[in-house]
Copies of this chain bind each other. A is one copy, B any other.
């Protein structure tokens, strides 16, 4: 079955936690085969999809060398939920690692950081200064959105999941949860309907005629007039980045070494990953459920290898193979890390958002998540955002890795994130590593891998 690339259907989709690649793919998928297709066919179709867009072509110029892969990424075995394994991470201490879920492959290690280490990391973050974390719509997405020009009928048809000729609240929210960084609740949407007077018959459903009144401009004007509160953002927190290379505080270098040991990955891969992110949530803070990294299709670039990829594709994701999340304090109330669909039998995106229960909303519905991890000072949790490819490298995105930070109901919450970035395309990863290893010797903070990234201890081996 041949499907055509229907990028132009993506007009309505602008959720920051769902990458443009996924959205474009989703459009393609809807256009090609309707609903009810399993994840597996999903992925297969995407790889087969012909690209009519010049910018998506020739991902790898023929001049580049071909790297033979002589490394296999080890993956920690989960065995089963509740399985406990002993780890030797620091001299004279045994850590216990418990499997929390298999989908995603998720572990908890109490006491991974000492009290002193937690304190130092929080102090270093405060010294450096924290900035608001609000995600803004990415420029690439804006750019792509401008090019799109679909008729309201086409958009309506795409959103109308059950094809009943009416848009329900959840059909709108599934594809358009976030508008300009604002998280929409069913109530928000009803308020917008009322404010713009689009739902003439007031039944909470939009006919095509009613939908025509809900133009993008009208939407934005309404939001501007109304004003936005912090609690309405996708992410209500402040954060900073701490470099962990040579010359960094010993605690930061120790943490990096311990993460390398924990994940059993080649040190270079950890060295070349993003710095440590430290996040502070005040009372009322939250981070709605999201993926730390998006799906990777052939036309998707990884942020960290992009400099080596020499590609102009508008599809990009952070390629965070692993997330290690450290709790730097024990929170007085709330602030759990929620995994709404952990170990669910199936991943059904549509059922995540019902008309009145939005499982992605971590201000309201954390209690309905399959799994919640309570913050405890020094505990680390880590999970894989990608599956294995079965051949020792990074495979497809693990959709079950969806997670969020529940609202802090009392006190403050401090966490740190260590992401390990690996390109699922081995050639690109290898080429990138070759490139950074050829850079002239530099200050430790001199090599910027991404707006906030830094590479240190560069070796030629993978």
A80→B345 contact, CB < 8 A: no
Of A139-147, A183-191, A200-208, A387-395, the one with at least 4 CB within 8 A of chain B: A387-395
| A263-300 Cβ-contact flags toward B at 8 Å (1 or 0) | 00000000000000000000000000000000000000
Which label, helix, strand, loop or mixed, suits the secondary structure of the A interface? loop
Residue A251 interfacial (CB < 8 Å)? no
Q: Which residue of chain B has its CB nearest to the CB of A84?
A: B40
* Cα(A79)–Cα(B392), bound, Å: 11
Number of interface residues of A (CB under 8 A): 26
> A388 contacts which chain B residues (CB < 8 A)?
77, 79
The 4 closest A-B pairs by CB, nearest first: A40-B82, A343-B345, A79-B390, A77-B390
Q: Are A80 and B396 in contact (CB under 8 A)?
A: yes
Per-position 1/0 for A1-45, Cβ under 8 A of B: 000000000000000000000000000000000000011110000
Contact between A41 and B396 (Cβ–Cβ < 8 Å)? Answer: no
> Does A83 touch B at the CB level, under 8 Å?
yes
Question: Could you tell me if B345 and A370 are in contact, using CB atoms closer than 8 angstroms?
Answer: yes
- A80, A82, A83, A344: residue with the most chain B Cβ atoms closer than 10 Å: A80
Query: If A102-B102, A102-B103, A103-B102 touch, does A80 touch B387 (CB 8 Å cutoff)?
Result: yes
Q: Which residue from chain B places its CB closest to the CB of A102 in the assembled complex?
A: B102
Inter-chain pairs besides A40-B84, A80-B396, 17 sampled, C-beta below 8 Å: A38-B81, A39-B81, A39-B82, A40-B81, A40-B83, A41-B82, A77-B388, A79-B387, A79-B388, A79-B395, A80-B398, A83-B390, A85-B390, A343-B345, A344-B345, A345-B345, A345-B370
